[in-house]
């Protein structure tokens, strides 16, 4: 078991990358802690799978190094890396039984028959596959197949990390939850490092201790679900996480005050005089409060049962606010309160930290 280090790791599918846009994965330094549960979150084509394949060794990065503990594995084969990977579509060997599928990685590594049997029985027990061991794997349902592909990773006792590439895509919704809980339980039991790629924020936030948010080939934030919610480091994280996403307003900021089209909004920290270059303030709909007044207009209300979402027009910008279910509101003029502590400042899409 070891930490996984990425040192200035970058990858381009083009032979001689020149611009940043040529990179599928922009230069990244990160240490994946031993035993951590990570989620890689981002829209399609943001470089999640590229990053995953670099860790597993299916892809050799065009720049930088990959270390497992102190060992440089950048140019090592996948098979030598003690890594297991579960793919988007279940990969099973059709012509084999469930048992043969589970035995396969061990046979390839030349283990003795007795050891193989012991190990396979143990893993099958753990995954509730014991009574299906002699079935043909091809005839099983999609979720059972995913369990088998997970099992093929788990049988190897030397596994450092298990990587998941959107493993629940083809699973029925009600089975998804079961499978996810099982993964969490296994993680607690064995303590291997888990990296889980997904584009579904709920999946990422419920699964992981730490979420790595990617956008355009770049890691824009690494943090706990709470950090991602409360202090998005990048406007993309604000949009992408939360439902509805964070509100952003172009503003000018001076000291503890932001000005949006003439309206002053006070901030929870002191910022120096920021230039006029792409400055925005951001606030989550959860922290935007409606009050008496007429500085804004409620345009429509969506009642979700648990709470309401008000679409608000403020100085020509449209915002969303989360309103408690019991609070009665009607379309029309309304006041708007920005919680100062929750109003964050962004420049060129990146979070600016103020002084308290």
Partner 1 sequence: MSTPMTIMRLIKRIRITPTLYILFLMVPLYWLLTMALKTNAEILGGFSLWPANPTLANFKTILTDPSWYGGYINSTIYVALNTVISLVVALPAAYAFSRYRFMGDKHLFFWLLSNRMAPPAVFVLPFFQLYSSIGLFDTHIAVALAHTLFNVPLAVWILEGFMSGIPKEIDETAQIDGYSFSAFFTRIFMPLIGSGIGVAAFFCFMFSWVELLIARTLTSVDAKPIAAVMTRTVSASGLDWGVLAAAGVLTIVPGAIVIWFVRNHIAKGFALGRV
Partner 2 sequence: MMQKKLNQKAWFLVLPVFLLVAFSAVLPLMTVVNYSVQDSFGNNEFYWVGAEWFEEILNSSRFHDALGRQLLFSGIILAIEVPLGIWIALSMPKKGWGASLCLVLMALPLLIPWNVVGTIWQIFARADIGLLGHTLAAMGIDYNYTQNATAAWVTVIIMDVWHWTSLVVLLCYAGLSSIPDAFYQAAKIDGASRWAVFRFIQFPKMQRVLLIAVLLRFMDSFMIYTEPFVVTGGGPGNSTTFLSIDLVKMAIGQFDLGPAAAFSLIYFLIVLLLSWVFYTVMTARDAEAGQ
Applying CB under 8 A, which part among 14-22, 69-77, 100-108, 116-124 lies near partner 1?
69-77
- Shortest Å, Cβ 84 to partner 1: 20
Of 83, 57, 74, give the one whose Cα is nearest residue 8. Answer: 74
- Shortest Å, Cβ 79 to partner 2: 4
Examine residue 109 and tell whether it contacts partner 1 (CB under 8 A).
Answer: no
C-alpha distances out from residue 98 to 85, 144, 170, Å: 18, 10, 20
- Shortest Å, Cβ 59 to partner 1: 12
Which H/E stretch holds residue 174?
helix 173-190
3-class DSSP state of 167: coil
Radius of gyration of the chain (CA): 24
# residues near partner 1 by CB under 8 A: 4
Beta strand 71-72 with 332-338 is: unpaired
Applying CB under 8 A, which part among 71-79, 182-190, 206-214, 285-293 lies near partner 1?
71-79
- Shortest Å, Cβ 346 to partner 1: 42
- Cβ contact 223:190 at 8 Å: no
Report the distance separating Cα 291 and Cα 273, nearest Å.
30
C-alpha distances out from residue 293 to 21, 297, 321, 333, Å: 47, 10, 16, 7
Is 87 or 190 the residue whose CB approaches partner 2 more closely? 87
- Shortest Å, Cβ 110 to partner 2: 9
- Shortest Å, Cβ 16 to partner 2: 18
State the residue for tokens 């990773």: 153
**Which stretches of the chain bind partner 2, using CB under 8 A?**
53, 56, 58, 77-79, 83-85, 87-89, 91, 93-96, 104-105, 108-109, 136, 138-139, 149, 152-153, 165
Is 162 or 274 the residue whose CB approaches partner 2 more closely? 162
- Cβ contact 246:270 at 8 Å: no
The token pair that represents 63 in the structure block: 């720049």
Examine residue 76 and tell whether it contacts partner 1 (CB under 8 A).
Answer: yes
Residue 190 touches which member of partner 2, partner 1, none, C-beta under 5-8 Å by kind? none
Is 78 or 206 the residue whose CB approaches partner 1 more closely? 78
Is 77 or 277 the residue whose CB approaches partner 1 more closely? 77
Report the distance separating Cα 12 and Cα 318, nearest Å.
38
Q: Which parts of this chain interact with partner 1 (CB under 8 A)?
A: 60, 75-77
């Amino acid at each position: 078991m070891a930490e996984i280090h990425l040192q200035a790791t970058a990858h381009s599918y083009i032979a001689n990358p020149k611009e940043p846009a040529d990179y599928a994965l922009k230069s990244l330094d990160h240490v994946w802690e031993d035993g951590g549960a990570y989620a890689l979150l981002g829209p399609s084509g943001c470089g999640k799978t590229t990053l995953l394949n670099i860790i597993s060794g299916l892809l050799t990065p065009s720049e930088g190094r990959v270390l497992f503990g102190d060992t440089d594995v950048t140019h090592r084969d996948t098979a030598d890396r003690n890594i297991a990977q579960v793919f988007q579509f279940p990969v099973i060997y059709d012509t084999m039984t469930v048992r043969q599928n589970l035995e396969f990685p061990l046979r390839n590594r030349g283990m003795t028959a007795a050891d193989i049997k012991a190990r396979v029985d143990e893993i099958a027990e753990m995954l509730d596959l014991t009574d299906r061991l002699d079935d043909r794997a091809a005839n099983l349902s999609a979720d059972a197949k995913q369990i088998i592909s997970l099992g093929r990773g788990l049988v190897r006792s030397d596994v450092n990390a298990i990587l998941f590439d959107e493993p629940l895509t083809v699973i029925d919704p009600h089975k998804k939850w079961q499978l996810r809980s099982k993964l969490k339980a296994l993680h607690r039991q064995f303590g291997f490092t888990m990296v889980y790629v997904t584009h579904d924020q709920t999946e990422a936030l419920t699964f992981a201790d730490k979420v790595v948010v990617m956008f355009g080939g770049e890691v824009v934030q690494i943090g706990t679900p709470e950090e991602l919610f409360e202090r998005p480091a990048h406007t993309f994280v604000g949009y992408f996480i939360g439902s509805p996403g964070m509100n952003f307003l172009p503003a000018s900021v001076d000291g503890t005050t932001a000005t949006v089209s003439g309206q002053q909004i006070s901030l929870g920290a002191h910022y120096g005089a920021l230039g006029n270059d792409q400055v925005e303030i951001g606030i989550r709909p959860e922290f935007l409060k409606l009050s008496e007044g007429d500085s804004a207009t409620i345009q429509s209300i969506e009642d979700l049962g648990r709470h309401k979402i008000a679409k608000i027009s403020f100085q020509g910008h449209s915002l969303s606010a989360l309103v408690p279910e019991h609070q009665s509101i009607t379309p029309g003029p309304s006041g708007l309160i920005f919680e100062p502590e929750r109003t964050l400042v962004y420049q060129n899409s990146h979070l600016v930290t103020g002084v308290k």
